[in-house]
Amino acid sequence: MKDDNRLKGIIALALVTIIAFGVIYGSKLLVKDEGNDKDNKVVDQDVNPEDLPGAIDVSGEEGIVAAREIKDDAGNITSYSVTAEAKGYNQTEPIKMEVIFDKDAVTIQEVKLISHGETPGFGKNMEKDNYLDQFKGMSASDAESIDAIAGATVTTNGLIDLVNTAYEYISGYVGD
């Protein structure tokens, strides 16, 4: 009789375990796994920047990953795109952003976060649209005035360095 109860308990435990695994596996199939922060890719990077129209050779430029001139249908430059990187809190994986400047090479049209390895809950807050929107219309020379990310001073300083690097590069390029 005791063996019979023990067998029933083992079978019940096995069924509960199988059901629990099924629920976990099924939920992962139904929703995007946002807990996987390994890549921290924010913008799709399937396109090689050197292959885009108007690509600028950035060989040997420290902190500059890619740059290009953006032109209208008539061939007039309408803006510049500079992809730059700088170290934030995570010293092993730099913050990488695309900064798009007006044709004056000073005013920022927008920034796009490409990748980073910053801490969730702190530096990762830079991914939020309301944080990135503060750059729109800002003069690149005013990068020091961006809002600090609470609890992420090193990340904020990295963003300032990144924007300054992009600005220095493109203003030098346009000035040439």
| Mean pLDDT split into 10-residue runs, the chain, 176 residues | 75 80 67 46 55 82 92 92 91 90 93 87 80 87 79 86 92 84
DSSP code at position 98: E
**Token pair of 156 as six digits:** 């904020």
Residue 70's DSSP bridge partners are 79
Beta carbons of 157 and 163 less than 8 angstroms apart:
no
- pLDDT, residue 45, reads 53
- pLDDT, residue 18, reads 83
- pLDDT, residue 62, reads 93
Burial degree of 72 (CB within 10 A; 0-12, 13-18, 19+): exposed
**Token pair of 106 as six digits:** 């000073």
User: From CA 16, how far away is CA 128, in angstroms rounded?
Assistant: 40
- pLDDT, residue 101, reads 94
Burial degree of 110 (CB within 10 A; 0-12, 13-18, 19+): middle
Alpha-carbon Rg for the chain, nearest whole angstrom, is 24
Residue 66's DSSP bridge partners are 83
pTM listed for this prediction: 0.69
- pLDDT, residue 43, reads 52
- pLDDT, residue 36, reads 44
Measured at the CA of 51, the angle between CA 49 and CA 56, to 5 degrees, comes to 65
